Amino acid sequence: MTVAEQMREDWNRRAKEDAYYYVAFGRHEQDEDEFLSTASDVLRGFERELKRGLPGNNPRARRALEIGCGPGRLMQPLSRQFGEIHGVDVSDEMIALAKARLADIPHAHPHVGSGADLRQFADASFDFIYSYAVFQHIPSKEVVFSYLRDAARVLKPGGLMRFQANNLEAARTAAETWHGCSVEAEEIRAYAQAFNLQLLALEAVKTQYMWVTIRKPAPALSMQGSTRIRRITNSESSEPVAPNRGRYAATSLWVENLPRLADLLTLTLLIGGEPARLTYLSAPEADGIVQLNAVLPQGLSTGLQPVELRFEGELLAESVFRIIPAPPAVPRLVEAVDGLDYMSGTRIVSGSVKLFVEEIFEPETLKASIDGTPAYDYSILCTDPMPPRHEINFRLPASLGSGAKTLRLEAGRRLIGLVPIELAPQSIPEVK
């Protein structure tokens, strides 16, 4: 069985079993309003990127394409911004659901795809191509890049592409269609270079949900005037300082007269003589100023550090930025939810719990108990190396019964958090 055939079989089964759950991994048997609400943050992100601008001046003439459209959860609201919107999915069961959802939108067109490319679409035919939580489930890196190569072909000059890929360091070895493959940030950079694409965002690197924004260059007028760094701030605030490590060790430069063809591939930012990792280049504001975000180089000394911004190796602008000592790490429990049905929150219905913790550098020391009874069967996943952030999963003993309980999380002898939870009667499995 080919990868495409396996994906089609598995996603058809998931669509029949509970399409909303597998598309928006929140909880089983979501109603329509719940399902649509799970897309709100994603839609805001796409709308932010669309402010960069698309080819042409007539929005009704613009065309969008979604790779992995599922039952049309994103196509439905985004159809308001395009004169024509298309979606492809390997699952014909998902496409049947999408056609029903979009039946009253004549310019929305879901299609069953090959599962590996965009062969049914002509060259340079879309202004905007997007994909959300799709490539994470493809078990073959070759298939992921087959889609991306074809996306470069069907994107118009001046068009935008925004998509996600799994960039977790943990290697995926099983060829199955849920966890999928991992794509390296350097592979995305190499892809953009090979197809002469502008790389505008490479965010959430080393996480399961690395975001990428790409533009296919169109002829552009050269900038008038010299490039100047207007100000430098912490990326998380307007403060003109950043710590030398930890969650806030990132900076934003506000730059005037940046070359039109500048992107994360052609720009280099040196802080203290060391290269910073560029993550995001904004669209120009009304006054022409752009925002350039970067993660600070490791090991910077505190104090004023020289800043150099270069384009294709040539110095564009210089400044200085103050680096301060990082504050002590503060281990904390960010959130506790049901391990499978996230929308249930702290009402545990599956017999498992998922915790999100931050600034814990030895997560293997974490232990959870519920009213004094230890949890068991732990799994730990680093979901973001900054601050760091870990996902901790564990199961609950059947002896706990049901009702109101208190979850206690400790690291060695240190209390990390206390969380009131409720155990639903059906949540506790039999001990095997």
pLDDT tens profile 32-66? 998 989 899 999 999 999 999 999 889 899 999 99
What number of other Cβ atoms are within 10 A of residue 38's Cβ? 18
Percentage of the chain exceeding pLDDT 70: 96
Between 160 and 56, the more confident residue is: 160
One fold for 3-215 and 228-324: no
**Contact (CB, 8 A) for 175 and 142:** no
| Integer-rounded Cα radius of gyration of the chain | 24
Report how far residue 49's alpha carbon sits from residue 210's, in angstroms, rounded to the nearest whole number. 15
Helix (H) and strand (E) counts in the chain: 7, 25
Q: Of the ranges 275-289, 320-334, 386-400, 414-428, which one carries the lowest mean pLDDT score?
A: 414-428
Half-sphere CA count of 141, side-chain side, radius 13 A: 14
| Cα angle, residue 293 at apex, residues 289 and 294 outer, rounded to 5° | 145
Q: Please provide the average confidence, as pLDDT, over all residues in the chain.
A: 93
Q: Is the pLDDT confidence value at 430 over 60? A: no
pTM for this one? 0.90
Report how far residue 322's alpha carbon sits from residue 303's, in angstroms, rounded to the nearest whole number. 5
Beta-strand relationship, 347-348 and 414-423: parallel
Q: How confident is the model at residue 337 (pLDDT cuts 50, 70, 90)?
A: very high
- What pLDDT was estimated at residue 1? 82
**Contact (CB, 8 A) for 85 and 61:** no
- Please state the domain extents for the chain: 3-215, 228-324, 332-427
Q: Under CATH, domain 228-324 is a member of which superfamily?
A: Immunoglobulins (2.60.40.10)
Report how far residue 432's alpha carbon sits from residue 428's, in angstroms, rounded to the nearest whole number. 12
Percentage of the chain exceeding pLDDT 90: 80
**Contact (CB, 8 A) for 167 and 185:** yes
- What pLDDT was estimated at residue 428? 46
Q: For 80-112, how does the pLDDT look when each residue is reduced to its tens digit (9 = 90+)?
A: 999 999 999 999 999 999 999 999 999 999 999
Between 395 and 57, the more confident residue is: 395
Q: Is the pLDDT confidence value at 340 over 80? A: yes
What number of other Cβ atoms are within 10 A of residue 131's Cβ? 24
DSSP state letters, 352-385 = EEEEEEES-S-GGGEEEEETTEEPEEEEEEEEET
What number of other Cβ atoms are within 10 A of residue 17's Cβ? 11
| CA-to-CA dists, residue 59 to 51, 53, 127, angstroms | 13, 10, 10
146-150, 245-249, 337-341, 412-416, range with greatest mean pLDDT: 146-150
Q: Is the pLDDT confidence value at 377 over 50? A: yes
- What pLDDT was estimated at residue 432? 35
Q: For the chain, how long is the longest CA-to-CA vector?
A: 73
Buried b (16+ CB within 10 A) or exposed e, 143-158: bbbbbbebbbbbbbeb
> In Å, how far from its chain's centre is CA 247?
17
Both tokens assigned to 250: 């990132």
Neighbouring-strand partners of residue 406: 420
Both tokens assigned to 415: 């209390």
Q: What's phi and psi for 400, nearest 5 deg? A: -70, -25
Please name which of 224, 223, 241 lies closest in space to residue 232, comparing C-alpha atoms.
241
What number of other Cβ atoms are within 10 A of residue 304's Cβ? 11
CATH (residue range 3-215): 3.40.50.150
What number is the average pLDDT over the span 327-356? 92
User: 332-427 adopts what CATH topology?
Assistant: Immunoglobulin-like (2.60.40)
What number of other Cβ atoms are within 10 A of residue 320's Cβ? 12
- What pLDDT was estimated at residue 173? 53
